[in-house]
A and B are shown apart, each in its own frame.
Chain A
């Protein structure tokens, strides 16, 4: 019988934020993602943000993981690393990419598959979606020399159809939110099989304990504050009583960026790993290990899309209002014209606009309540996010028309 285990899965991502791209830039400038040239200190400056988060989070956490991997042979975990993140790391922090490579090379870190551009293409265009998954797979192979076997969709947006797609495309596992209305009496702490599939297995996020780390860890008004390694160890043990795996899925930036270093998050993690491995009956798994170590304990069906966001766990943060719907409609409407150009730079710009963060910045559901602090965005308002994005799309359209027209003329 396999040991009880924790599956840490860290989501590593950075979008290419659209700069304050004005209607007067259309047809003149095509540098949608280069705010740095205009206002270095803007919150839309991708380079500045990447370097800031690199210092606060990626470097110290990578260093800690490298240390832990050396100290504890049984310490394992998984990453999802987006294509847009890798591109940014290549430009602005190659040392971080080297560190990720060492971690993967150690055999203790698995890389999970997803769309290269962190997009919602699955819900709009199945072919484009498949192309982006293939692009990501190729990029991971090129950079890390490994193949991906387990799939996670952007924002953990999951439904039965997605599971079927992943199963048909040879994935061994897939990740989703362990949402109570779906699970009912069942626990997320087992391996499941998605309904209507033959081989693939499903890992469900234990959101309560994941959120204890990701959102509540440094919150001094939380009644459990301060969280300690001993306490978390106790909770994890309780959670796993008579159960198998504890899936802790969190944004990688939890470490150092969402929870600052002074909350003690790094020390906590260091102590916790040590503590968890100090017994004989508990260990860590990568996502693939977990799937191979345990049999499915039942079927799970999610006919409607479930994500890992908000209390609603749906897609409304990305597609809930009319601006978001219009933006994404305009984006996918021009697909044929864009792909027809065969212009790699144009196509890549168009795909960078598919990153889900862009429509997330247009979300008004918190903004309306006057709770602007919940509005996590580099823009002044959702409305500003909308117009810069729409202006960029208009320019993409203009470029595509230019190129396609010239092709015909030739």
Chain B
């Protein structure tokens, strides 16, 4: 079965979870016989990907896949002509080019199914469907409602999402939480939407990795002295609810002193959060690592005892599964997809600062509670495999193909 998959990033050129999810899904699908052409909006090598064909829609470096900006990209993208630079200066320009590429591609290679990930590629998906009459799957990892937090979001993106969801033959949502948003905010019939939770690939986490030489030496010392390490790994944006976590940290410290909070990541809220920690009088207990990758990233999980995902709106939240893998007790907001698939965790409403503080302190106070959470979650997250996700995805493809062939005979 020939699948035209439309995405925006793949590892190692990814900036978040979207690329990771696309990679593992595509790999598991190809193991099940799917022949995948994957289109990305940039040109680069993907050394670890040989199970599908990757097509570059533009000559851009991966860094500029959201547009080059009016000034930034000029010096480093010397290969581009002035016209190209002008065309690709913003995200809409990159998307136009991406659509053009897909239009040309489907004339030569007619897919059996078109599978588009998120608003970025929805227009290209619709064009491909119009040109080939192949069925279109829209895979929703996040909606503009999730990305914009409390504000209303970009109306152009809302329009594209609405059209894409309307035109799709089938929609895949990464959680029931996301499915509800699609139904409530975009008025899409619930039976058009299938929920496929993301999985975790344990191999990707380097199972043999031990924390004996941890990057975070100072924190490791505090740990030896009996401190409990509470960690969050995320982008510092409003959507992630970090100001609630900071307030809870202050409240928790009131009740139990031996706590340390590790904020891993970066984002526009960084300075605000640093200020907040100082205002709350807990600046000495809160550590900011900045954006980290590789060993620093793994070590943050590995040194941590309690992982908090404080998101106000989180379609899935794969970091929670990663944290579970590194032996953390998990506290996760109910406003997240991942909380739907896990039982051995604390769930709280993102605004419920007291409850979050209560849970942190109780885990710190009780070895039995901490031990139970850490060991029981390990029996859970491993149950969710990309193979199962891909099996269900293949079924969606097959059903659509058979329905589509029925339709064209009429």
Task: Tell me the B333-376 residues at the A interface (CB within 8 Å).
Answer: 343-347, 354-355, 357-359, 361-362, 365-369, 371-373, 376
Contact status A383-B344, CB under 8 Å: yes
- Size bracket of the B interface: 20 to 34
Contact status A364-B366, CB under 8 Å: no
Contact status A24-B343, CB under 8 Å: no
Decide yes or no whether B129 CB sits under 8 A from chain A: no
Decide yes or no whether A391 CB sits under 8 A from chain B: yes
Task: Tell me the A302-335 residues at the B interface (CB within 8 Å).
Answer: 321-323, 325-326
Task: Tell me the A362-378 residues at the B interface (CB within 8 Å).
Answer: 364, 367-368, 370, 372
CB distance from A91 to the nearest CB of B (A): 29
Decide yes or no whether A7 CB sits under 8 A from chain B: no
CB distance from B363 to the nearest CB of A (A): 8
**In-complex Cβ contact of B368 among A325, A372, A384 (8 A):** A325
CA distance A368 to B375 in the complex (A): 10
Decide yes or no whether A301 CB sits under 8 A from chain B: no
Contact status A370-B368, CB under 8 Å: no
Decide yes or no whether A387 CB sits under 8 A from chain B: yes
**Contact A372:B343 (CB < 8 A) given known A23-B361, A390-B366:** yes
Residue of B nearest to A26 (CB): B255
CA distance A323 to B255 in the complex (A): 21
CA distance A400 to B376 in the complex (A): 35
CB distance from A327 to the nearest CB of B (A): 8
Task: Tell me the B95-135 residues at the A interface (CB within 8 Å).
Answer: none
Interface of A is mostly: helix
Q: Enumerate chain B residues within 8 angstroms of A326, measured Cβ to Cβ.
A: 366-369
| Contact code string A101-144 (vs B, CB < 8 Å = 1, else 0) | 00000000000000000000000000000000000000000000
Task: Tell me the A4-26 residues at the B interface (CB within 8 Å).
Answer: 20, 22-24
Q: Enumerate chain A residues within 8 angstroms of B361, measured Cβ to Cβ.
A: 23
Decide yes or no whether A381 CB sits under 8 A from chain B: yes
Decide yes or no whether B251 CB sits under 8 A from chain A: yes
Contact status B344-A368, CB under 8 Å: yes
Decide yes or no whether A380 CB sits under 8 A from chain B: yes
Contact status A322-B354, CB under 8 Å: no
Decide yes or no whether B379 CB sits under 8 A from chain A: yes
Decide yes or no whether A386 CB sits under 8 A from chain B: yes
Q: Enumerate chain B residues within 8 angstroms of A380, measured Cβ to Cβ.
A: 347
CA distance A273 to B361 in the complex (A): 55
Residue of B nearest to A372 (CB): B343
CB distance from A396 to the nearest CB of B (A): 16
CA distance A204 to B354 in the complex (A): 49
CA distance A326 to B361 in the complex (A): 16
**Contact A383:B355 (CB < 8 A) given known A23-B255, A364-B344, A391-B362:** no
**Contact A368:B376 (CB < 8 A) given known A22-B354, A384-B346:** yes
| Contact code string A249-286 (vs B, CB < 8 Å = 1, else 0) | 00000000000000000000000000000000000000
**Contact A24:B376 (CB < 8 A) given known A322-B371, A381-B343, A386-B369:** no
CA distance A382 to B362 in the complex (A): 13
**Contact A323:B366 (CB < 8 A) given known A24-B358, A364-B376, A370-B380:** yes
CB distance from A39 to the nearest CB of B (A): 12
**Contact A387:B362 (CB < 8 A) given known A23-B357, A24-B251, A322-B372:** yes
Q: Enumerate chain A residues within 8 angstroms of B251, measured Cβ to Cβ.
A: 24
CA distance A20 to B376 in the complex (A): 23
Contact status A391-B358, CB under 8 Å: yes
CB distance from B358 to the nearest CB of A (A): 5
**In-complex Cβ contact of B358 among A22, A364, A367 (8 A):** A22
Task: Tell me the B357-410 residues at the A interface (CB within 8 Å).
Answer: 357-359, 361-362, 365-369, 371-373, 376, 379-380, 383
Task: Tell me the B188-211 residues at the A interface (CB within 8 Å).
Answer: none
**Contact A323:B369 (CB < 8 A) given known A23-B361, A390-B362:** yes
CA distance A67 to B361 in the complex (A): 55
**In-complex Cβ contact of A323 among B345, B368, B383 (8 A):** B368
Q: Enumerate chain A residues within 8 angstroms of B366, measured Cβ to Cβ.
A: 323, 326, 386, 390
CA distance A24 to B256 in the complex (A): 12
Q: Enumerate chain A residues within 8 angstroms of B347, measured Cβ to Cβ.
A: 380-381
Task: Tell me the A383-401 residues at the B interface (CB within 8 Å).
Answer: 383-384, 386-387, 390-391
**Residues of chain A whose beta carbon lies under 8 Å from any beta carbon of chain B:** 20, 22-24, 321-323, 325-326, 364, 367-368, 370, 372, 380-384, 386-387, 390-391
| 14 CB < 8 A contacts A-B | A23-B357, A23-B361, A24-B255, A24-B358, A322-B372, A323-B366, A367-B343, A367-B344, A370-B343, A383-B344, A383-B346, A383-B369, A387-B358, A390-B362
**Residues of chain B whose beta carbon lies under 8 Å from any beta carbon of chain A:** 251, 255, 343-347, 354-355, 357-359, 361-362, 365-369, 371-373, 376, 379-380, 383
Q: Which 4 A-B pairs have the closest CB atoms?
A: A322-B368, A326-B368, A387-B362, A23-B358
